Structure 1
Amino acid sequence: MLDSHDVDVESRRALVTAAEELAADGLLGDSVLADPAARLPEPLAERLADVLRPPAPGVGHRVVRGLFAGFTDPGPTPLHWRETDRERCAALDIALVLVAARFGRVFGWTDQQDGRIVHNIVPSPGCEAMQIGSSSTTELAWHTEDAFHPDRADLLLLVCVRNPDGIGSRLSTVSSAGLDERDIRHLLRPEVAILPDDSYEDDTAAAREPVGMATLWEREGSLGLRYDPSYSRLLTDDEEFRDAYGRLGRALEAGSFGVPLAPGDLVVIDNDAAVHGRTAFRPRYDGTDRWLKRILVRSPRQRPARESLEHGYGQRQVDAHGGRPVLRV
């Protein structure tokens, strides 16, 4: 069942006005948080307080309908994220970053999308059958975002820019998997190595010593999930563990549900409670294809202490909160 909330027209207009004023000063979404004065106006933040909250762990997601629906059309869907017109997207990107900052520390990765904070997820020629966001004709399999890294996002924000074919995201939660105690006990063991996915411009990861990671861990009142079978290798031949891992995948599929996305909609995903994916579709590459924007957020959430020993394959974060000079256009 969707946890869905609508936003009133007045709040949408106030968000557009605030973002356009910052964009008029030459700020971009990737740089706006380096300006200490850049934030949501307090009256708007108060009006949005009830909807801009993290999802409940057992639910794993929150949909905010129409929050970004008032922005000017950013132009045709680019064929590659590098082709995005960041000046034309500036107001929308700024609004997304300011909203994301209400949840925690906004960041990017140095080797993903050139270290940008606002990621553009568009189907790209040559990527159709890959297991990355720019794929299309193959189903995007269940995954925890950046599961390979101990400092992966706690929350993942997705905003729909364009979706004429109604291609929704898919979600499934560990709470809906219905695992028995025996399977949970096996999956708490650090027996899975997860590599960075192919969206990272780094060809050295496979040469690093694999690190055993637990698929599940115990959170307060719930379980945490770390799962990306497309980029995983099991480090044990224990048939009971392998069977439990397989049952988890089947249970996530059985408990899955779709999230319809219209332009302006925001989906907040608890990256420790839910995995996400996408159905296959046929891209047109004519400027009308599906286009999402993505933001990663780290909150003060605790994860298992053993994760601090992981090398994260050398991937480094880009901190949006003053981590680099303000960019002007």
Structure 2
Amino acid sequence: MSKGDGTRQSAPADHLPALHLPVLYTQVMEGLQVKEDGTYLDGTFGRGGHARGVLQRLGPGGRLLLMDKDPEAIAHAGQTFAGDARVAIRRGSFASMAQWDETAGGLDGVLLDLGVSSPQLDVAERGFSFGKDGPLDMRMDPESGESAAEWIARADEREIADVLWTYGEEKQSRRIARAIVARRATQPFTRTGDLAAVIASVMPRGDKIHPATRSFQAIRIHINRELSDLETGLDAALERLKPGGRLAVISFHSLEDRIVKRFINTHAKAPPANRRLPALDTFVPTLRAIGDAQKGEADEIAANARARSAVLRVAEKLAVDA
């Protein structure tokens, strides 16, 4: 699964350059309801397709805050928006947005486009893709934390199986973990192609997707702490959003979308009553869901395969009386 910063040739939308149209672009812009003098944070800059759309709608008094773990994405942001006083850039996970002084005055919108960007997938040296042989890395920030190769070298069989099952929903997780541990006893894993081949060798035939798809997804999510960052980032976004501010999140697999859906529902809907328990304080909603989950239209999916699994959810922060 990948994040929606996919590149495709297409007629431009809202004058966005045709060479780079991210998934669900129109829906995201409609969901954010960008105000000319607002302050907006794109927590997953990637290559900036959504960010450019927001910036187009900002006036001289507007503000665009950009974050990304990936140093290459941050370098690209610096080159793209150099000299624009409306833009501030910070390298790091969106989970830390509440620690950024630029957000202290409140945000009118937050965008999170989850998963892996097209450049990360397309460059073999980043080690995200089983389809392109490269170093077994998978870190969104290659200068921080443990690489996939290092984790696979030290994790025991049970931990590997648990990760594959929990984050990849891989039914053959135990069989794959057993094969990985057996093979690394004689030769360490250092390449994506090698790991993909070992996984494929123990998988039953007939699956429509590549046999390593779920395992690579699971390892990537674990290495980058993606789901824990998402949970922390959603809390931080709610904290920093102004009343009336919008949260827009694009997910690419069910684990992410489940977290986002549950977060919005928890803050938008009162929990079901339990007659056996004493009545709790009156529920006060702090979010309002804006419509239902949105997916790409057929023409977008036909032009950009990475839009097929994208799901957008939008919510608005409500004013709460003191």
> In which range does the TM-score fall when normalised by the shorter chain?
under 0.3
Q: What TM-score comes out, normalization by structure 1 length?
A: 0.24
Q: Which has the higher helix share?
A: 2
Q: Which has the higher contact order (CA 8 A, sep 6+)?
A: 1
Q: Which has the higher strand share?
A: 1
Q: What TM-score comes out, normalization by structure 2 length?
A: 0.25
The structure whose Rg is larger is 2
